[in-house]
Amino acid sequence: MRLNPHQINRLVRNIIEELEKDGIIQSKDEKTIYDIVSAVIIQNLKMEEELEKEAEMLIRKHSAGYHTDELNYDLLIKRAKYELAKKKGFKL
Protein backbone atom coordinates (compact mmCIF):
# COMPACT_ATOMS: atom_id res chain seq x y z
CA MET A 1 0.00 0.00 0.00
CA ARG A 2 1.54 3.25 -1.06
CA LEU A 3 0.55 6.40 0.77
CA ASN A 4 1.64 9.94 0.07
CA PRO A 5 2.92 12.17 2.91
CA HIS A 6 -0.48 13.87 3.30
CA GLN A 7 -2.21 10.50 3.71
CA ILE A 8 0.40 9.34 6.22
CA ASN A 9 -0.03 12.56 8.20
CA ARG A 10 -3.80 12.10 8.28
CA LEU A 11 -3.45 8.46 9.31
CA VAL A 12 -1.02 9.32 12.12
CA ARG A 13 -3.29 12.11 13.39
CA ASN A 14 -6.30 9.76 13.37
CA ILE A 15 -4.40 7.05 15.24
CA ILE A 16 -3.22 9.51 17.89
CA GLU A 17 -6.72 10.93 18.25
CA GLU A 18 -8.19 7.44 18.76
CA LEU A 19 -5.48 6.45 21.25
CA GLU A 20 -6.13 9.64 23.23
CA LYS A 21 -9.89 9.13 23.10
CA ASP A 22 -9.50 5.57 24.41
CA GLY A 23 -7.22 6.81 27.20
CA ILE A 24 -4.28 4.77 25.96
CA ILE A 25 -2.00 7.79 25.66
CA GLN A 26 -1.99 11.31 27.03
CA SER A 27 -0.34 13.80 24.75
CA LYS A 28 2.09 15.74 26.89
CA ASP A 29 4.57 16.08 24.07
CA GLU A 30 2.52 15.96 20.87
CA LYS A 31 5.52 16.19 18.57
CA THR A 32 7.27 13.22 20.16
CA ILE A 33 4.12 11.11 20.01
CA TYR A 34 3.56 12.16 16.39
CA ASP A 35 7.17 11.31 15.49
CA ILE A 36 6.98 7.86 17.12
CA VAL A 37 3.66 6.89 15.51
CA SER A 38 4.79 8.28 12.17
CA ALA A 39 8.06 6.31 12.31
CA VAL A 40 6.19 3.09 13.06
CA ILE A 41 3.74 3.66 10.17
CA ILE A 42 6.52 4.51 7.72
CA GLN A 43 8.60 1.50 8.80
CA ASN A 44 5.56 -0.74 8.37
CA LEU A 45 4.87 0.64 4.89
CA LYS A 46 8.51 0.10 3.89
CA MET A 47 8.37 -3.49 5.13
CA GLU A 48 5.23 -4.06 3.08
CA GLU A 49 6.91 -2.61 -0.02
CA GLU A 50 9.89 -4.93 0.51
CA LEU A 51 7.53 -7.90 0.79
CA GLU A 52 5.84 -6.89 -2.44
CA LYS A 53 9.18 -6.61 -4.26
CA GLU A 54 10.23 -10.00 -2.92
CA ALA A 55 6.92 -11.50 -4.05
CA GLU A 56 7.34 -9.99 -7.53
CA MET A 57 10.83 -11.45 -7.85
CA LEU A 58 9.61 -14.84 -6.66
CA ILE A 59 6.75 -14.89 -9.19
CA ARG A 60 9.03 -13.80 -12.05
CA LYS A 61 11.52 -16.50 -11.14
CA HIS A 62 8.91 -19.25 -11.03
CA SER A 63 6.85 -18.12 -14.01
CA ALA A 64 9.68 -18.24 -16.53
CA GLY A 65 8.58 -20.26 -19.53
CA TYR A 66 4.86 -19.69 -19.05
CA HIS A 67 2.84 -17.68 -21.53
CA THR A 68 2.29 -14.30 -19.90
CA ASP A 69 -1.30 -14.11 -21.12
CA GLU A 70 -2.10 -17.26 -19.13
CA LEU A 71 -0.97 -15.74 -15.84
CA ASN A 72 -2.67 -13.19 -13.63
CA TYR A 73 0.45 -11.55 -12.20
CA ASP A 74 -1.45 -9.27 -9.82
CA LEU A 75 -3.19 -12.22 -8.20
CA LEU A 76 -0.01 -14.30 -8.08
CA ILE A 77 1.96 -11.45 -6.52
CA LYS A 78 -0.78 -10.79 -3.98
CA ARG A 79 -0.85 -14.45 -2.94
CA ALA A 80 2.94 -14.65 -2.75
CA LYS A 81 3.05 -11.44 -0.72
CA TYR A 82 0.56 -12.82 1.81
CA GLU A 83 2.45 -16.10 2.07
CA LEU A 84 5.77 -14.30 2.60
CA ALA A 85 4.18 -12.04 5.20
CA LYS A 86 2.73 -15.05 6.99
CA LYS A 87 6.12 -16.78 7.09
CA LYS A 88 7.77 -13.65 8.47
CA GLY A 89 5.03 -12.96 11.03
CA PHE A 90 4.09 -9.69 9.36
CA LYS A 91 0.43 -8.67 9.48
CA LEU A 92 -0.90 -7.08 6.31
Cα 31-35-38 angle, rounded to 5 deg: 135
Contacts of residue 49, Cβ cutoff 8 Å, sequence gap at least 6 = 2
* Predicted pLDDT of residue 73: 75
Summarize pLDDT for 32-68 with one digit per residue, the tens.
999 999 999 999 999 999 999 999 888 888 777 666 5
Under 8 Å between Cβ of 92 and 81? yes
Global pTM reads 0.71
Give me the residue spans of the domains in the chain: 5-88
